[in-house]
Amino acid sequence: MYQTTIKKSVELVGIGLHKGSPVRLRLEPLESNSGIVFYRSDVGVSILLKPENVVDTKMATVIGKDGNLISTIEHLLSAVYAYGIDNLRVIVDADEIPVMDGSSASFCMLLDEAGVVEQDLAKKVMIIKKEVIIKSGDKYVKLSPAPDLKYDFTIKFPHPVIQNQEFSLEFSKQKYKDEISKARTFGFLHEVQYLRSKGLALGGSLENAIVLDEKRVLNPEGLRFENEFVRHKILDAIGDMSLIGMNFIGNYEAMAGSHDLNHKLTVELLKEKENYEIIELVGEKTKELEKAYA
Supply the residues annotated as catalytic: 259
Query: Could you give phi then psi for residue 37, rounded to 5 degrees?
Result: -120, 125
Closest residue by Cα to residue 132 from 261, 284, 285: 261
DSSP 35-59: -EEEEETTTTEEEE-SGGGEEE-SS
Burial of 163: CB neighbours in 10 Å, binned 0-12, 13-18, 19+: exposed
Tell how strand 248-255 and strand 149-157 pair up: parallel
Tell how strand 22-29 and strand 132-136 pair up: unpaired
Type of residue at 106: S
DSSP 105-168: HHHHHHHHHH-EEEEEEEPEEEEE-S-EEEEETTEEEEEE--SSEEEEEEEEESSTTTEEEEEE
Tell me the three state secondary structure of residue 200. Answer: coil
